[in-house]
Amino acid sequence: MKETEEKTEEATPKRKKEARDKGQVAKSEDFNTALILLSGVLLTLFLGGAIMAQMKDTMCLLCRNLFYEDFNANTFIALVMDISFKNLKVVLPLMGGFMIVGLLATTTQVGFGLSRKALIPDFKRLNPLSGMKNLVNMKSLVKTAMSIVKLSIMSGVAYVSIRKDLEPLLELISMRTEAILTSATGMIFAITLKITIIMLILALIDLLYQRWQFAKDQKMTKNEVKQETKQSEGDPLMKSRIKAVQREMSNKRMMQDVPEADVVVTNPTHYSVALKYDAATMESPKVVAKGVDLIALKIREIATKNNIPIVEDRVLARVLYSTIEIGSEVPPKLYQAVAKVLSYVYQLRNVVASQ
């Protein structure tokens, strides 16, 4: 059996773009969770006093309205609306903070972009057979092992923190309710902050691992890179064939202009350049055809059949061929050399005409 070709090449920009369009990007869900939890802890630290004060006002408001003599539906609706608006003033900044942090966490990892293909439901994921395969592959085993390690570390941090504060925790029994609430809140906040920081460190490690794993999964074989290059740039054989056809068509058009030339300057065997000059329409002579070897021979054959004068000038033929494109006029620096050739041609025509 043919061995599977090893993926050793880095993913091409085209492969990366296709993966991004499908929503396949390197990201860590733990990173989002850790940042949201950290923001929650910090927001609670800054807004905790306002939240507690609002809760206290709400309880007092409820207790004051328990003994309304004219308590009816309208009074109840007004009471609920009043409590709701007051609580929203405290809750909305907290929820808004979570949303902003979640958006920033995702954007930090994968950048800004919306993948339509990722929104299309993939019913193949509902296949129980493929689901079972995903449970036993190497990726799932690594993910499970990392989850166990994370849980063990966070449990250890929580255990050490609680054991350290065990004696102050037992002293809460003899305290008043407000003191118990304040002390318990401080302990819970300290433990949560430690766990959150540990989660964030582990999330950063997980993010680096996810990026490494994603880059590894996106690697391509040499054959895949070659095939993609053919698709993007075109098959080299096909491109060479197209160029050959284009050259052939260009040569045909060029040969059609040779009978209209006034003179053909040759090397005499390797180079041929056909010149045309019309004083009424041109400022200087124009190159209507040029070529080397077989094309040069073909130009001379057409010129002979159409009685176009052929003048041998080795240096001028080479210079005209290498410096002037077909359809372009002769530059001023070659006027004198070309004028000598044309002068000879015109004299030759006069002699032929006089005979």
Own/partner contacts of 221-229, CB < 8 Å, gap of 24 or more, are 221/5, 221/6, 221/7, 221/8, 221/9, 222/5, 222/8, 222/9, 223/5, 224/7, 224/9, 225/9, 225/12, 228/12, 228/14, 228/15
Q: Where are the domains of the chain?
A: 13-230, 254-354
For residues 207 and 27, the answer to whether their CB atoms sit within 8 Å is: yes
Q: For position 1, what pLDDT does the model report?
A: 38
Of 209, 191, 162, give the one whose Cα is nearest residue 28.
209
Look-up of token digits 């410096």: 323
Q: For position 232, what pLDDT does the model report?
A: 62
The string of DSSP codes covering 290-318 is EEETHHHHHHHHHHHHTT--EEE-HHHHH
138 Cβ neighbours under 8 A, 6+ residues apart: none
Bridge partners of residue 287, in order along the sequence: 275
Q: For position 340, what pLDDT does the model report?
A: 86
Question: From CA 258, how far away is CA 89, in angstroms rounded?
Answer: 89
266: enclosing H helix or E strand: strand 263-266
Omega within 30 of 0 (cis) for the link into 268: yes
- pTM comes to 0.47
In the numeric block, which tokens belong to residue 61? 């408001």
CB burial string 56-78: b at 16+ within 10 A, e below: eebeeeeeeeeeeeeeeeeeeee
Q: What is the dihedral of CA 246, 286, 298, 343, to 10 degrees?
A: 180
The string of DSSP codes covering 87-133 is HHHHHHHHHHHHHHHHHHHHHHHH-S---HHHHS--GGGG-HHHHHH
The string of DSSP codes covering 166-201 is HHHHHGGGGS-HHHHHHHHHHHHHHHHHHHHHHHHH
Query: pLDDT digit of tens for each residue in the chain (355 aa)?
Result: 344 667 777 877 777 777 777 777 777 778 888 888 888 777 777 776 677 777 777 777 666 655 555 666 777 777 778 777 777 777 777 777 778 877 887 777 776 665 565 555 555 555 566 555 555 566 677 777 777 887 888 788 777 777 776 666 666 666 676 666 667 777 777 777 888 888 888 888 888 888 888 888 888 887 877 777 766 655 566 667 767 776 777 677 778 888 888 888 888 778 888 888 888 888 888 888 888 888 888 888 888 888 888 888 888 888 888 888 888 888 888 888 888 888 888 887 777 666 6
Q: Which CATH number among 3.40.50.280, 3.40.309.10, 3.20.20.140, 3.40.1690.10 corresponds to the domain 254-354?
A: 3.40.1690.10
Compute CA 203 distance to the chain's CA centroid, rounded to the nearest angstrom. 25
In the numeric block, which tokens belong to residue 288? 């209507």
3-state helix, strand, coil in the chain (%, to 5): 75, 5, 20
DSSP at 25:
-
For residues 27 and 110, the answer to whether their CB atoms sit within 8 Å is: yes
Of 210, 235, 236, 241, give the one whose Cα is nearest residue 109.
210
Q: For position 2, what pLDDT does the model report?
A: 44
Residue 297's Cβ-count burial label (10 Å; 0-12, 13-18, 19+) is middle
50 Cβ neighbours under 8 A, 6+ residues apart: 90
Bridge partners of residue 266, in order along the sequence: 272, 312
